[in-house]
Structure formats: structure tokens, C-alpha cells
Structure 1
């Protein structure tokens, strides 16, 4: 007996896509493209293409991976390698984009860039304490009812943010600082703009977030009355394409705005300062209020998605603790970490990204193409085994000097540098391809042996 399901209207797809956009698009997604535009200058186009691969294509593939495998979360993506690997990978992903780095960053970026410039310096620590407490209380309340997340983000918070951002784009391109073609180019982007843009896309954390948001998106889609896995997957995929296309357009406009701004400002150390300069230039004193509102809204949408995804996944695999309890623990832990400050969070998050991003990329790639080799564990095993060692080396090399410059850290970095493309952070690429070739070869041999055994029976 087939389940009767409602026919979705275009408006339903737009609401789900809006929710996805809001989940993905946090403060980092706002400030990193601006900063990229400033440092790439006239060479903004190749840098943009590289950035779009890791900041748009990979998150889209992560959504498609959830869709193609009928998965409901990051755990299912790693399941072909066994439940312990899948559980470990899920915990590492959620810890990185959750209470250790990603979720606290949503509050610290909003405060540091939007609120702190309006406060006396001596109030910064107390201000961050109060702001982060209120911020994560709001995130907890908005994600308390799982079925209401779509409405909170897709119908209210994200449209509000997009309206404010549209105002900034309208004014910025109506009265440009100058042509991007005349903007100065920093040394790293004079020759290797494409590659450096690719690596800058890591900072958005969206490929990791896309895997973690899977359970939130699937829950939201099922909340529309859909039951069949195939239908849920199709709606998720269509909404993912729509959302990431919109994100890509916003990225291009932000990068262009950043590049044009260097005709007037010198390139800043990070995108928060750049955005503050641009907003103040166009909107004066009122710009600070606009900036604070934009950053708080977009950061809150991402924080809601991250705390909800964490609680949903952990409740599913550790059901003795309720969704609400996991949600409260996640929100409180993120509040504590946020008060270490933005600089400390970014400094220690980079090594984890250098380790997890290669693993996430190969698992996303394997999941989206898994129909070709029937999700054979042997293919997954070879690829991940050949990826994990260079990824660990990249992690050690990216740690702060207390680790990376120690005797062990220097020895690991020296060994890593023998790998092709290691010096540009892609030392895992060739080993992963070798692992893929070996895995597919072993899989093909196993299939022939199995076919031969069947013929003999």
C-alpha cells in the first residue's frame, strides 16, 4: 500500500531552500568572501572560481550525498565503513562545527564585528559574556520545537537578512568605490588565485555543515507531510540546488564588493573589519546598527541549525538523553567556548578543518557516486585509509606554533612536504586518488570472483 503524500507547491520548495540558505549562511560566509575580494583584488575571478568549489559546490554535493544515499545525517555517510567509524566521524564533525569552533564563532563574529565597535574597549569582555548568553538562549528557544525550525529560519530570519543585504548591494553597486580591475593584488593572488581561493573556502565550514544539517533538513521536509524516502530525497536535492545557487550569487557580489573597496581602503586583516568599513562609508553612524542587525540575524540562523542538528543526531544515537537536554548542553557549551574570543577560536579551528575537510570531501564524493560501486566498503576503506594520514599531517602543520614548531611538529611537517601539493594544503589529494584506484580495482576483482562463483553453482 502506497502512502499518500501532499503535492508540494513552488512556495514550499522556496521555504525549504530559504531554510537551507539560512542554515549555511552565517557570519563567516559574509566576511570571508569580502576579505577574499580585498586580497585578490583585480585577480578576483580565478580566486572566486576556487572559492566557489569549496564554498558552494562541496556544500551542494554534501546535500546531494544525503539525498542520493537516503541518509538522515552525517552518521549514515560514514556507515559503509562500520558503525564505529560512522559514530566517530559524526562526533568529530559535530564537535568541530558545534561547541568547539563553528557554533561559538557565530556569536563571537556577530559581537566582534557588529557590537564591539559601539562599546568602550573596557566593556568588551563583559559585553561578549552578556551578548553570547542572550544569543545562545535565543538559539535554544528557536530550535526547541523541531518542527518550527523551518518557519523560524525559512520564513522569518533568512528573508530579513536577505532584505538587509540587498540594501547593501544596491547602494554599493549604485555608488561603487571603483572598478575591480584596478584593485591592487596581494602577493599570494598574483599567480595562484584559484588555489588560494579554493583553500579560503574551507573557512566557511559548509561542506561539514551540509553533512551535519542533513538530519535537520530531512526532519523539516518530512514536516511538510512527505513520508517516502525517494520523495524526501528529491525535495532535499531540489531545495539544495536552489539554496546553493543563491549562496553562490551572494558570494560573487560580496567578493566584487570587497575587491572594489580596496580602491578606497587598504586590505584589512579580516573580513569583519572590511565589512564594517564598507557599511560605515555608505551608511555612516547608522551603518553600525545595520551591521549589528545583519550579523546577529544571519549568525542566529546558522546557530539554530547547528544546535538543532547536534541535538537531533546525538539524541538519535544516544536516545537516553532527550533532544531538549542535548540542545541545552550544546547551547551552554557553545556559550562557554564563545567567551575565549574570536581570535582563539579561529586559531585552533584551522587544524581541525585541515584534517576533517579532506575526509569530508572524499566521503561526499564517494556518497554521490556510490551507485556505481554499490557503496562497497572496500572502496570506501581504501580511499579513507589513504586520505587520513596526510590529513593528520596537515592538521599538525596547521596547529599554533606551540605544536607545529615543536620537534614532533617539525618532523611531521618535513615528512608531509614530500607529498605532491603538500605545501599548498592538498597533500591528501594524490594518496586519495591512489586509494580510489586500488579500491575500485579490488572491488572489480571481487565482482568477477562473485560472478564466476555464481556461474559454477
Structure 2
């Protein structure tokens, strides 16, 4: 059962797979907007963002490797089938038709089409664009056609080349000094924490849980038989891939901070990206980058709708793959027409709930060998995490919910928890749950040891 040694080329193949899994055109907008929000405090904000936007996604794939999971369902399996199924549905719904998949269309539209359409026709243009966009996504996924993926292999490197060209020009001719750029009130004193929370928007940790099995399977097909060897390969290739992702994030954050020397704080990163590209590349550069972003986002959308349909058909086989595909594509089209700003506003509360839950499950899975993946440890940690995370979710809702009597009641209760003012009210309760779970886990062997001498063979 020994594993063969991989070549550097094979490590690069795994790294490329990881990079493709975690970096899409949608990941451009959040670090860019973070740079504008943080201004001169971009350094601690970037550090927090890299934890949830780079380190945590890598750990999510490691969790799949360590537990030999075949998908997100298996990650929640120690807590029972009911929890595992609910967790899987929430993850796929979030990175799928509720938020993640619609965002692929709205980012493409905001960056590529909206600048060329008069304001009064924006909504109609979004409707037509998203209809065509998801029609193509459905068609490619329905026939399981690899044409778009093959096109993406050519256009994605071109997209990255143009992106780095933009970075080069931006740093040679900066709009302003990032160290002296004004910061919003939230980032003046809480840049690290807010950067950490902003990283939730990438949804990459959730994506790692849902699609990490693709990477792990590829590694095993390369002759890595033992779980320990699979984890080592994922870790080494992951450092290479995520270093690239992290570098792009850092450059985007700095570019966002520098843009404040010429532009005001934008409503979202899509608008900021459009402004910066047009400033340096004019209409032609903006059009060229828009085409590449649209193809990149379409490739991502095809993968998301297909993965959603495949996983749901696997667990709910009475509904066919093609019907699940139609339902997720239709739902994504409907949600996309609310616009990028609304999608981000309503996705934030769900991520405030799901990310803490995902984080503790990822860390428990990575460390599961230390407590034999005991369900009792999982139970107490998740129980003590889920309650405050629900409070964080309610408080993060738009004012129509958070400012209601119900929202105010939850906010008052949540305020009593440690770190609540930082959006991390779940951290201390989760640690308490971990202590209780581990104490119960290690107490059982001690009780068995206490009665064991009475059962020993006298000859011993």
C-alpha cells in the first residue's frame, strides 16, 4: 500500500486544479472592495482576509482528504444522516442557486455589460443577459459538453495575463498612496476582524467542502494510496496554488486602496473593478477583459449547476439529474435579476451562519484522528457554535429584519456573548463545546480502564 513519489509536474497539475477550484472572476470583486473599505489600514485587513479566503479553503480540502470523505455529506456524517443531509443542502444552496451561481452572471454583467448600457435600461439588459447566460450554462451542463471547459483552459490564462498587466500599469502609475487612503469607520479600529469576515464572501471554504473530493480523487489516481500521503500532496500543492491566489488577493486589495486617490468608495467591488479597468485601459481594455470575465464566469456557472444537480440526484434519486439541473438553473436566473448589490446584501447573513459551522467542522475533520472522529466531540462543538451563529445571522440581515422587534431581541441577547461586537460571538462557545466534548471522549476510556483490572487474566 505504499505510494509512489510524484514529479514536480504532477504537483503542478494538482496545484492548477486547486487554483481553478478556488479562483474565479467573482473573487476579484471582494478583495478590491476590501481595499477601498480599509484604505490605509489595508495590511491588517488583508491578513484577516487571507485567513478565511486562502488558509481556510485549503484546510477544507485537507478535511476531505483526512476523513476520506466523498463529498460535503460525509463531512457532517459524524452528527447523523439528518444533520449531514441538511448541511449538504445548505452548502449547495448557498454556493449554488441562492447566491454563488447567480453571482457568476451578475459579476459578468456588472463588469462587462453595465458600463455600456444607459441607466434606464439596466434592469432589462440584466434580464436578457442572465437569460442567455443561464441558457448557455444549462445547455453545456445538459449535454455534459467539455467545449466550454476546453475554451476556458485557453481563455483563463489570457484573463490572468490581462489582470497582471492591469496590476503592472496600476503600480507603475498609481492613482494614490494606499497607506494614506481614508478608511471607513469599521476598518479604522477593526480592520483585522472585518477583513476576516469579508473573506466569507468568497465562499471558497464552502466550495472546498463541496468540490474538494475532485482534488482528492485526482491525487489518489496519481498513485497516492495512503490518506497520509494524499494529505501531504494536497498540502504541498495547496501551498503552491494558494500562494498564487493569495498574491492576487493582496494586489487587488492594494489596488482598491490606491483607487481612492481618484474614485469614491463604490457600492460593490464590481463597480470598482469597472472603474479601475476603464481608467487604465479605456473602452477597448474594458471590453476585452469583459469578454474574458464572462467566459470565466460561465465556465464556473456550468461547474456549479452540474455539481448541484449531480449531488442532489445522488441523494434524492427520484428527481432526475436533468430536472435538478433545470431547477437550479431557473432559480439562479431568477435570483440574478435582483442584482449584484442585493445578492451580496442577502448572502452575508447566510454566510455569517454557515461559515462558523463550516469552520468548526473543517477543523474537527482535520484533527479528527486525535479523537477517533468521536461524534460526541462534534456534537458539543457544533451545538455551542450553531446557536450564536444564528444570532450573528439575524443581526447581519438587512434592516427589514435586523431592525424589527424580533431582530432587536436577538441582538440584545447576542450582545452579552464575548466577541459579539466583532461578529465572532460563536468563538468562545465553540471552545467551551470542544472542552466538554473532549472531556466526555477521554472520560470513557478512563471508565473502562477502571473496571479492566477485574477482568484481567490472573496468569498475567
| Fold-level similarity (TM above 0.5) | yes
CA contact (8 A) 1:16 1:154 kept: no
2:343 aligned to which of 336, 345, 350: 345
CA contact (8 A) 1:279 1:287 kept: yes
Counterpart mapping for 1:436-447 below 5 A: 436-447=434-445
Counterpart mapping for 1:108-187 below 5 A: 108-143=106-141, 152=150, 155-187=153-185
Counterpart mapping for 1:402-413 below 5 A: 402-413=400-411
Q: 1:38 to 1:400 in 2, by over 3 A?
A: closer
Q: CA deviation at 1:318?
A: 2.3
Deviations 1:335-384 (A, max 9, x none): 22212222322222111111111101111111111111111111000000
Aligned to 2:258: 260
Q: 1:272 to 1:295 in 2, by over 3 A?
A: same
Q: 1:387 to 1:442 in 2, by over 3 A?
A: same
Aligned to 1:44: 42
Q: 1:221 to 1:303 in 2, by over 3 A?
A: farther
Matches of 1:121 and 1:6 in 2, distance apart?
59
Q: CA deviation at 1:66?
A: 0.9
Instruction: Report the secondary structure of 2:311's partner residue.
Output: helix
The answer for unaligned runs of 5 or more in structure 2 is 456-460
Q: 1:311 to 1:53 in 2, by over 3 A?
A: same
Instruction: Report the secondary structure of 2:266's partner residue.
Output: coil
Range 197-206 or range 123-132, more displaced? 123-132
CA contact (8 A) 1:22 1:302 kept: no
Q: CA deviation at 1:154?
A: 7.5
Instruction: Report the secondary structure of 2:189's partner residue.
Output: coil
CA contact (8 A) 1:79 1:86 kept: yes
Instruction: Report the secondary structure of 1:114's partner residue.
Output: helix
Aligned to 1:242: 240
Matches of 1:270 and 1:11 in 2, distance apart?
39
Q: CA deviation at 1:32?
A: 1.0
Deviations 1:87-137 (A, max 9, x none): 100001111111111111111121123211111233323322222223223
Instruction: Report the secondary structure of 1:190's partner residue.
Output: helix
Range 156-165 or range 250-259, more displaced? 156-165
Q: 1:308 to 1:13 in 2, by over 3 A?
A: farther
CA contact (8 A) 1:20 1:217 kept: yes
Deviations 1:235-287 (A, max 9, x none): 54444333222111100011111112222222222212211111111111113
Range 189-198 or range 233-242, more displaced? 233-242
2:330 aligned to which of 329, 332, 341: 332
Deviations 1:205-235 (A, max 9, x none): 111121111244345556x565847365555
Matches of 1:317 and 1:149 in 2, distance apart?
28
Matches of 2:314 and 2:213 in 1, distance apart?
10
Aligned to 1:293: 291
Matches of 2:145 and 2:9 in 1, distance apart?
18
Q: CA deviation at 1:78?
A: 0.5
Range 392-401 or range 20-29, more displaced? 20-29
User: Over the residues paired in the alignment, what is the CA RMSD in angstroms?
Assistant: 2.6
Aligned to 1:84: 82
Alignment coverage as a number of residue pairs? 454
Aligned to 1:21: 19
CA contact (8 A) 2:49 2:196 kept: yes
TM-score normalized with structure 1 length: 0.91
Range 225-234 or range 184-193, more displaced? 225-234
Aligned to 2:269: 271
Range 319-328 or range 382-391, more displaced? 319-328
Instruction: Report the secondary structure of 1:165's partner residue.
Output: helix
Aligned to 1:391: 389
Matches of 1:418 and 1:73 in 2, distance apart?
37
CA contact (8 A) 2:46 2:250 kept: yes
Q: CA deviation at 1:192?
A: 1.6
